[in-house]
Structure 1
Amino acid sequence: MTTYLRSDELADLTVHDQAGEKIGLVDHVYCGDDSGRPTWVTVSTGLLGLKETFIPLAGAQAVGEELRVPFSKDLIKSAPCADTDGLLTRAEERRLYDHYGLPHHELADDAVGLSGTDPYDASPGAVESVVSDDGETMVRSEERLHVGAEEQVVGTARLRKVVVTEHVTTTIPVSHEEVRVVREPVRPGERVDAPMGEAQSEVTLHAERPVVVKEEVPVERVRLSTERVTEQREIHDTVRKEEIAFEDGTGSTPPA
């Protein structure tokens, strides 16, 4: 573990909160004194990562590619915004220390600045003037559009089992007995004991009837599963940029 890294070592780290949950990549590093010791980092949060949130480095530790800070993700995302233009004033720093519950009685009245000399470390749209031997040099800046994705809950799917009744038609074979009269002639000389008079003969008839028995039978298992589908979406927005016009003092405006 490493505590109080140099600015260049913080640049590519991923910030994780006290529970290990990912916050985002370090965007900028702010140093508070002439020693160049980093005191703050910023991370892009919010929808599409358009909000730059300040996180104090007090108690932070680096483990591999991670920068672990002793604060919760909710506390970090609710930190007050600071419109710094590359500088964090002491009033803004005190307000941030109050939010994180950290002491700030030792703060002076100067400002905390971005580390490094890259002009793009400053806020988008800022213009710097640097005096050189040949005159004043103007730095042109422009906004860059950073687009990201944030996972949100969009709905809930449910499985619900209900009982419905449907009519079923099927065919089965059934049989029954029918009566027919069979006549057989008595052969000559055949002795038959059949006295003359009234008589009666009967036979019992049988028939099959359909019998219905219902049985509950499991037929399939049904469950819910999710599948991640990736699609391409076009994002439309506007960005600002600065243009520099050159006036040569003659009333005309040559291209810059």
Structure 2
Amino acid sequence: MPIDPSTSIDALRAATVTSSDGSKIGKVAEVYLDDHSDQPEWVTVKTGLFGSSETFVPLSTASYLGDEIRVPYSKEQVKDAPRTDADGTLSPAEEVRLYDYYAVDRTTTSGRGTGDQPGGRRGEWPDSRGDVTTSTGQAALGTTGTRTTTGTGTQGYDTSGPTTDDAMTRSEERLHVGTEVREAGRARLRKHVVTEEQTRQVATSHEELVITREPITDANRGAATSGPELSEEEHEVVLHEEVPVVSTHVEPVERVRVGTRTEQDTQTVSADVRHEEIDLDTDSTVTTGRADRDGRRGRHG
């Protein structure tokens, strides 16, 4: 469902922004109001490692249900949006650039015409009821009730709680470091055939021709004179030899498998954290007492 204009800034700040396919993009960091309508126009989303970056996302195309703001953009599209400093104000040029990136029709946002200059500011000083104090000091109407301020009894507001009394709460960001599992690489086994030449020594044998001449003796005279006195003849001898014969056969030699094991190591990560500091401004006629519990004395204005 579209975002109800009466939705409190506190509720939007506590929401999670999800992409068009329902996957989480990040937590809402800040809510920015339109300068003309004072209605929520943008939110910044914590992206990057440990939410170290903030990216602007328009609310005009978003839907809100429970604690989820769903936008019709992918996580990558939001992360790649033009970088704009989340310094409390959004200049007209920065807003036009963001509208162009998200392909949002500016003539339909916040009821502005084509001649109106865009621009926005961070929704500041929300109390537990969702009221918003504007720059003029007048209390804007939130989801419930109204409140006014007086010239002498102006109430203070604290980002960590409702209306303050005689004390101001100092807050600071704490760094929380965790781990997530992501794909670091892939390995696969692939088998292919490689041909290589191998050399072996093989013993072989062969026959050689040997001619033997015998003189005529009484022992062989009969064989020598058994034929004609003069004739033409042929006598053939077949020679033999051994030659190498090569053949191959396939047999398994080993089994190979690939697996994983977990190695423990330590990595150093750094992130910027913010904290509040409280300074005391007084007139020159006011004297201060002893140092506070942190050992810091208030400075004179």
Normalising by the smaller structure, the TM-score range is: 0.5 to 0.7
Please tell me whether residue 244 in structure 1 is matched to residue 279 in structure 2. yes
Give the match's secondary structure for 1:144: coil
- Alpha-carbon contact 1:4-1:61 (below 8 Å) kept: yes
Return the offset for 1:93: 1.0
Aligned ranges 1:116-131 → 2 under 5 Å: 116-118=124-126
- Match among 81, 86, 89 for residue 88 of structure 2: 86
Q: What is the TM-score with the length of structure 2 in the denominator?
A: 0.48
**Once the two structures are aligned, what percentage of the paired residues are identical?**
35
Give the Cα–Cα distance (whole angstroms) in 1 for the partners of residues 271 and 20 of structure 2: 35
Q: What is the TM-score with the length of structure 1 in the denominator?
A: 0.55
- Match among 141, 144, 164 for residue 173 of structure 2: 144
1:32-74 Cα deviation digits (max 9, x unpaired): 1565432211111123311111111123223454322111222
* 2:121 alignment partner in structure 1: 113
Return the offset for 1:235: 4.0
Give the match's secondary structure for 2:93: helix
- Match among 150, 155, 162 for residue 185 of structure 2: 155
Please tell me whether residue 73 in structure 1 is matched to residue 75 in structure 2. yes
Give the superposed CA RMSD: 4.6
Alpha carbons of structure 1 residues 64 and 219: separation in structure 2 relative to 1, 3 Å: farther
* 1:189 alignment partner in structure 2: none
Report the AA paired with residue 121 of structure 2: G
- Match among 52, 61, 77 for residue 50 of structure 1: 52
Give the match's secondary structure for 1:26: strand
1:85-133 Cα deviation digits (max 9, x unpaired): 22222221111101111122546336412235159xxxxxxxx9x9973
* 2:142 alignment partner in structure 1: none
Structure 1: gaps spanning 5 or more residues: 120-127, 164-213
- Alpha-carbon contact 1:42-1:53 (below 8 Å) kept: yes
Give the Cα–Cα distance (whole angstroms) in 2 for the partners of residues 226 and 71 of structure 1: 38
**Farther-moved stretch of structure 1 (57-66 vs 69-78):** 57-66
Report the AA paired with residue 158 of structure 1: R
Report the AA paired with residue 279 of structure 2: I
